Structures are given as C-alpha cells and as structure tokens.
C-alpha cells in the first residue's frame, strides 16, 4: 500500500492518469492519481480563479477536510489520505459511476436502503452532506454500493445548547434524505411508496423547499464573480 504522506505534491501530480475535472473559475482540479496500481483522487484549487483561490478556496478545503476527518471509517465515504496545503488534499479513489450517468430502472430498492444507511452513519457523526441534489455527488459501484463524495457544502451539528444551530442541522438532515427520494424518483420510480411520493411533492424540510432557489442564486453569483475561462 502506497504511503501517500511520504510523496510531495509535485510528484503526486506527475502520477496523474486521468482528469475528472479541470480547474477553472471556482472549480478545482480533480485528478486520478495512480502509483504502482494504488489509486487516489487529488482535489486541488491551485489553478482556480485567483481571487477565489485566495479568499474562498481555503475555507472550502477546511470545511471538507474537517468533514472527512469526522467521517473516517464510515462505509460509503472516501477516506482522507493527506492534506498537502490550504488548497489541496488527497482522498480515496472509488471505482464507480456517478448516479447522474445511471440509466433508469437499473437500481432496486435495496440500493436506496443502503444509501439511507450511509446517511444514517454520516448524520450520527454530526455531519450533513447538503449537496446530494447533485446526482454527480453519489457514486455507485458495480455491486450497487453508494459512495458519497464532495463534502464541500457539508455542515456540522452544533452543541446541545445551540438550539437554533441544531434545528438548522435537522433541516439539512431531512434535505439529505429528501435528495435520496428525488434520486429514487428519477432512477427507480416504480419502487416509490405512496408516502415517499407525497414527501417528494410536499417536502417537510424548509431547507429542501428553499434549496432549488438558493442553489440557483449561489451558482449565479459564483459564475459571475469567478467566471470560467473555458467554454
């Protein structure tokens, strides 16, 4: 097994074998790294927009790294291997297909039960994902095991005395489960129960009801402040 902590960033980048995402605007480089058959994924904001890189990217790295550390050992969440600097870290590689690329009627109800189990474990650790509405953040392996990736939007549970913070956390918990139902409605609608369909049509979480409008606003602001240099 490769000791990822013993290899510096320059060497790591030399072992890139695939580019999942090329840095531009507010987006980081996401690279597949292969050393002697061992694979990992490098997430690196070094080549993102200058002002985004200086002002915002370090905060996103702190947030995501903190979540991955809290979730270490949770099946269905990639392990954090190494943090190189305030802009760059390395995580476990998952050999799977993004849910956004899955064909309809290829998943059964057991998959969604497993996905809810992963979320149970994530929430028990005091973390919510907050961006599962994007189907690209769920990877599916050949044996239909769900893996949750990209915890950049995650939030953490507040102390027991912070009533408002804990209420907000609970709203995001419901939104996470609501995202599973939306994915189920997209890929396996025949497995939806009447109660699940009602929950999709009438979500309980305030966060979930506002999520679409908030998401559009964030994307609009980000794209205009930190525009992509690529078409």
Rg (CA), the chain: 18
User: What confidence score (pLDDT) does residue 200 get?
Assistant: 82
How far is Cα 134 from Cα 158, in angstroms, rounded to an integer?
Answer: 25
Lowest mean pLDDT among 107-111, 172-176, 198-202: 198-202
The average confidence (pLDDT) of the chain is 89
User: What confidence score (pLDDT) does residue 219 get?
Assistant: 46
How far is Cα 190 from Cα 184, in angstroms, rounded to an integer?
Answer: 9
For residues 87 and 103, membership in a common domain is answered with no
C-beta of residue 180 within 8 angstroms of C-beta of residue 119: yes
Burial (Cβ within 10 Å: 0-12, 13-18, ≥19) of residue 182: middle
The label of the residue with tokens 């905060």 reads 59
CATH number for the domain that contains residue 53: 3.30.200.20
Domain boundaries, position 178: 97-225
For residues 85 and 122, membership in a common domain is answered with no
Count of domains forming the chain: 2
Mean pLDDT on 177-205: 88
User: What confidence score (pLDDT) does residue 117 get?
Assistant: 98
CATH number for the domain that contains residue 178: 1.10.510.10
Mean pLDDT on 162-179: 91
The domain boundary residue, chosen from 92, 122, 151: 92
- Beta-ladder partners of 156: 127
DSSP conformation class of 78? P
The domain boundary residue, chosen from 92, 115, 131: 92
Has residue 187 been placed in a domain?
Answer: yes
- Residues 6 or more apart whose Cβ sits within 8 Å of residue 214: none
DSSP conformation class of 143? T
Q: What is the pLDDT of residues 83-110, one digit of tens each?
A: 999 999 999 999 999 999 999 989 999 9
Q: What is the pLDDT of residues 120-165, one digit of tens each?
A: 999 999 999 999 999 999 999 999 999 999 999 999 998 888 899 8
User: What confidence score (pLDDT) does residue 225 get?
Assistant: 54
C-beta of residue 14 within 8 angstroms of C-beta of residue 2: no
The domain boundary residue, chosen from 92, 122, 155: 92
Instruction: Return the closest-CA partner of residue 102 out of 147, 143, 137, 135.
Output: 135
User: What confidence score (pLDDT) does residue 227 get?
Assistant: 54
* Model confidence, pTM: 0.87
How far is Cα 149 from Cα 136, in angstroms, rounded to an integer?
Answer: 9
């Amino acid at each position: 097994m490769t000791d990822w902590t013993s290899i510096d960033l320059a060497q790591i980048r030399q072992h890139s074998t695939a580019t999942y995402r090329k840095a531009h605007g507010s987006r980081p480089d996401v690279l597949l790294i292969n050393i002697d058959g061992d694979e990992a994924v490098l997430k690196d904001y070094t080549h993102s927009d200058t002002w985004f890189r200086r002002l915002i990217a370090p905060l996103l790295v702190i947030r995501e790294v903190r979540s991955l550390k809290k979730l270490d050992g949770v099946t269905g969440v990639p392990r954090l291997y190494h943090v190189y600097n305030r802009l760059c870290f390395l995580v476990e590689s998952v050999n799977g297909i993004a849910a956004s690329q899955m064909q309809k009627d290829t998943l059964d109800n057991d998959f969604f039960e497993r996905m809810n189990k992963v979320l149970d474990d994530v929430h028990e650790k005091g973390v919510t994902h907050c961006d599962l509405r994007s189907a690209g953040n769920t990877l599916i392996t050949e044996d239909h095991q769900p893996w949750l990736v990209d915890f950049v939007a995650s939030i953490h549970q507040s102390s027991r005395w912070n009533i408002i913070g804990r209420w907000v956390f609970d709203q995001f918990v419901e939104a996470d489960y609501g995202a599973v139902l939306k994915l189920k409605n997209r890929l396996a609608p025949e497995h939806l129960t009447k109660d699940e369909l009602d929950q999709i049509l009438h979500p309980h979480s305030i966060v979930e009801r506002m999520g679409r409008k908030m998401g559009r606003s964030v994307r609009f602001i980000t794209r205009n402040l930190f525009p992509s240099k690529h078409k």
